[in-house]
Each structure stands twice: as C-alpha cells, then as structure tokens.
Amino acid sequence: MDAGEKLRGLPSVHEAAERLAADAPGVPHALVVDEARRALEEARAEIRAGREANGAFVERRAAAALEALARPSLQRVINATGVVLHTNLGRAPLGPLELPAGYTNLEYDLASGRRGKRDAHTGALFERLLGRPAIAVNNNAAAVFLALHELAAGYEVIVSRGELIEIGDGFRIPDIMARSGAVLREVGTTNKTGIEDYRAAITERTRLLLRVHPSNFRIQGFTARPALAELAALGRERQIPVYEDLGSGCVADLRPYGIEEPVVAESLRAGADLVSFSGDKLLGGPQAGILAGRPALVARLRRNPLFRALRVDKMIYQALEVTLRRLLLERWDEIPALRMIRQTEAEIRRRAEGLLARARNVRAELIPGESVIGGGATPEQAIPTCLMALACADVVAAARKLRSGEPPVIARIEDDRLLVDLRTVFPAEEEELAVALQALS
C-alpha cells in the first residue's frame, strides 16, 4: 500500500471524534474534535515520512492527549537527590499550608474598616526579624530591577568587576542594570577591588554603591574587596546609599551547621542602606524577592509604579507570612529546607537503615557522601550525608522507572551508581519511597 492509499485510509475528523467521544464522557465536544484533528495531522506526517500510522494510531494519540489535558501537570515529587534547594523541583520545599478559601483581608484593614496594604501581613514580621522595614516582589531579579530603577535610573551605579555575575538562566547583573535605566560604572578588577577604587569612581552622577554577594560561585586565591562596613562608611561620607544584593537570603544563622552565608540582619547592622534577597532559597519560603533597609528608601520603592507590577499575590503572602512567623519563633523544624540542612549524617543513616529494614528486598549499600544546598546558594559547601547506593543493572533505566512512578521519585546518578539521599525526603514520604524502590527489584 502506497502513501496515498494509507492517507485515504485514515478516518475523517468526524469519525475519529465520534469514536473518542464514546470513551470520553463529560469532555467538551469541541475539545474532542480539536484533539482528533491534531492526531490526524500527526498521522499524516508519519505516513509522509514513511512510517506506519492508521485509525488506531489516531485514536491512541488523541485519547492520550485528552487524558494528559485532564491530568495536572504540576505534581508532587519525592526529591531523593540530596539537593535541598533544587531549582528544577521548586527550590525551597514548603510545609503544610492552610490557604484561606473564599475571600480574604488581603488589602482590607479589619480594625478600621478601610482599605489596607497587602504587605501589612508580613511587614511586622520582617521588622522584628531584620530590624528594618521590608517589601516583597515576585523574585529577587525583580527586587534588583526595582531598586536600580527607583534609586539610580539615568545615573551611575558603582559596582566591582568581580561582582558582575549571572544569577541564573541568562539573567546577568549588567543586563538588569541596563534595563532598569541605571548606568553601570565598573571598578577594580575581577579578583581585587579596594575601597579607593570606589572612592575614585564617585562623581556627581553617582547615585548608588552596589555590592553583589557571589552566592553561586567562589573566587579564591589572590583576591580582595572592602568590608561592607568600610563601603557603608564611604557611602555615609559621600551621602550615597549602599545597596547589597545578598541573593540567597540567609535569615537564620546556619554557621553551626557548616554553612557559611552572610546573614541579612548582619548586613543591615554593618551599614547597608538596602539589601535584597530571595524568598525561596535559604529563607525557606515561597518564590519572592525581598527588599529591606532604611525606611525612607523602602518607602520610595513602594511608591514606584513598578512595585504594583511586580507585587506578589495572596497565596505567596500567605506562604511568606507562615515562613516568617516560624523563623521569628525559631520553629526551625517547621521550615522544611532548614530542617533538612540541620539533619546530621548519623540521623540520615538511621533513617536509611530503618527504611531498608522495612523494605528487605531493596538491595542497597549505605555509603558516606555529600548533600548540597543548591539553588544558586552556598557553592562548594557540601553537607556530610549517608547515601543509599542501589544495586541495579541499568542505572539510567532504573532512574527513568522511578521518575515514571506515582509519585515520581527523583534520584541522582553519580559514578555510574543510582543514589538516594534521604536528607531531602520528607519522613512521611519514606513508605512511598520504599514501595518505589522495591519495584526496581
């Protein structure tokens, strides 16, 4: 049979839709017709390319498409990689949240009965945590853009060459500065910048001294940059605000757990007039960009028309408020990312031993290893952990099978071994994980 005969043998759109509708009760007829038409176009393309396709092919493709449209795309996965802030898995995992159904007092002051401000739900918590007022926008790139646009559009911003970083997915500090209208004034070199470099670059067009924390890389060796307090002193001397983009946003001090990251409140106490950081990294909350600092500067940012364009919605405020309250009350274990970071290697080993004892047919060896923070935070800082090295003939096929499960399990492949790190697995997920691992045997 030649291609022409095969094409003529395909059902019409009407015929294909009639057959599909019988197995898809409740699906709008127009949608069934659309998917039948799409499947027929795919079948014709297959035939023209010399491959086999027929009426059954059309029905299978269309039925699979309708099923996929009815199934949520965003779903819970079990993160067994040991990467705490896994960018592809949503960065900081959120704990249980009770989102208010129906209407809320998002912008309504219940005490006065008048219109309120949505950042009132987090403002008092930020002030107690940081000692400064703060506002939230939809991510840290937006926070940087808003700060530069309000404080330096049309004027110069001085920044060290060693801090002109890319913050992920092609977003680069120089590009954000250009879009904001600020003019970049580079000083120093890639590896060394001194306070005199900043001083010599100040002109009547200077509006901001910018310091960018290298949260996603490290330069080692012959390096130098002025301390934040030194830069702040220069800013006060010349009456120019000092703005520090901290990126990863460490609010709780993680140094006792081996994580060296600047703490937001310490930057403010050192003299930074304004700081920005992410909500979904070491803060442990939802995606957001936080701007905190001198009241006058924060008020200016809030009045900028772009603030409304970049503001966050009621669901983000709810998640952010819950996270901030847990931080303030030092309920560390109620913030999943912080609980995961604080786990010791011995604790993870005990969990792994318990899981293997319950799932006896899972063949795995417990080996020492490392977890990482991830998410563009704390580069080259690993946390000791205990890994489950699974015994499997084909690690790629085994990883694929875990991903196709319900729920999907995301493990990591390293040195041709399939590894599971319980640091990033919620205790309540262990039984599901055990079932998924047993299915590999």
Q: For 133-149, how does the pLDDT look when each residue is reduced to its tens digit (9 = 90+)?
A: 999 999 999 999 999 99
pLDDT of 247 higher than 70: yes
For residue 311, the domain's CATH number is: 3.40.640.10
pLDDT of 74 higher than 70: yes
| Residues 125 and 250 placed together within one structural domain of the fold | yes
Where residue 217 falls among pLDDT bands split at 50, 70, 90? Answer: low
pLDDT for the residue 105: 95
Is residue 410 within 8 A of residue 402, CB to CB? The reply is yes
For residue 362, the domain's CATH number is: 3.90.1150.180
Mean pLDDT of the chain: 91
**Where is pLDDT greater, at 202 or 214?**
202
**Where is pLDDT greater, at 264 or 98?**
264
Residue 231, domain member (yes or no): yes
Residue 395, domain member (yes or no): yes
pLDDT of 220 higher than 70: no
| Residues 325 and 363 placed together within one structural domain of the fold | no
Where residue 5 falls among pLDDT bands split at 50, 70, 90? Answer: confident
- List CB contacts of 233: < 8 A, sequence separation 6 or more: 271
pLDDT mean over 368-397: 86
| Residues 300 and 164 placed together within one structural domain of the fold | yes
Question: Any idea what DSSP says for residue 250?
Answer: B
Q: How far is CA 299 from CA 41, 182, 271, 302, in A?
A: 56, 20, 18, 5
Of the ranges 2-6, 80-84, 216-220, which is most confident? 80-84
Where residue 191 falls among pLDDT bands split at 50, 70, 90? Answer: confident
Where residue 175 falls among pLDDT bands split at 50, 70, 90? Answer: confident
pLDDT mean over 172-191: 85
pLDDT for the residue 167: 65
- Domain hosting 267: range is 108-334
**Percent of the chain scored above 90 by pLDDT?**
73
Percent helix, percent strand, percent coil in the chain, to nearest 5: 45, 20, 35
Residue 103, domain member (yes or no): no
| Residues 330 and 378 placed together within one structural domain of the fold | no
| Residues 148 and 295 placed together within one structural domain of the fold | yes
Residue 121, domain member (yes or no): yes
Is residue 148 within 8 A of residue 176, CB to CB? The reply is yes
Q: Give, for 44, the enclosing helix (H) or strand (E).
A: helix 29-48
| Residues 374 and 312 placed together within one structural domain of the fold | no
| Residues 113 and 188 placed together within one structural domain of the fold | yes
| Residues 366 and 320 placed together within one structural domain of the fold | no
Where residue 24 falls among pLDDT bands split at 50, 70, 90? Answer: confident
Residue 97, domain member (yes or no): no
**Percent of the chain scored above 70 by pLDDT?**
95
Tokens 């691992």 — which residue?
Answer: 437
Is residue 250 within 8 A of residue 262, CB to CB? The reply is yes
Q: How far is CA 418 from CA 207, 286, 308, 385, 437, in A?
A: 52, 30, 46, 15, 11
Strand, coil or helix: what is 356?
A: helix
Tokens 């401000």 — which residue?
Answer: 117
Among 334, 367, 390, residue at a domain's last position: 334
Among 318, 334, 350, residue at a domain's last position: 334
pLDDT mean over 249-275: 92
pLDDT for the residue 359: 87
pLDDT for the residue 334: 95
pLDDT for the residue 171: 67
Of 224, 119, 193, 167, whose CA–CA distance to 375 is shortest? 167
167 burial via Cβ count (<10 Å: 0-12, 13-18, 19+): buried
| Residues 285 and 164 placed together within one structural domain of the fold | yes
Residue 241, domain member (yes or no): yes
Where residue 204 falls among pLDDT bands split at 50, 70, 90? Answer: very high
pLDDT for the residue 172: 76
pLDDT for the residue 4: 81
| Residues 135 and 265 placed together within one structural domain of the fold | yes
Both structure tokens of 389: 């090295």
What tens digit of pLDDT does each residue of 285-318 get? 999 999 999 999 999 999 999 999 999 999 999 9
pLDDT mean over 10-16: 91
- List CB contacts of 256: < 8 A, sequence separation 6 or more: none
Among 319, 334, 349, residue at a domain's last position: 334
Is residue 250 within 8 A of residue 92, CB to CB? The reply is no
pLDDT for the residue 126: 97
| Residues 185 and 219 placed together within one structural domain of the fold | yes
| Residues 139 and 217 placed together within one structural domain of the fold | yes
Q: Please give the tally of structural domains in the chain.
A: 3
Which residues partner with 366 through β-bridges?
A: 388
Where residue 168 falls among pLDDT bands split at 50, 70, 90? Answer: low
pTM metric for this prediction: 0.89
- What single-letter amino acid sits at 39? A
pLDDT for the residue 216: 53
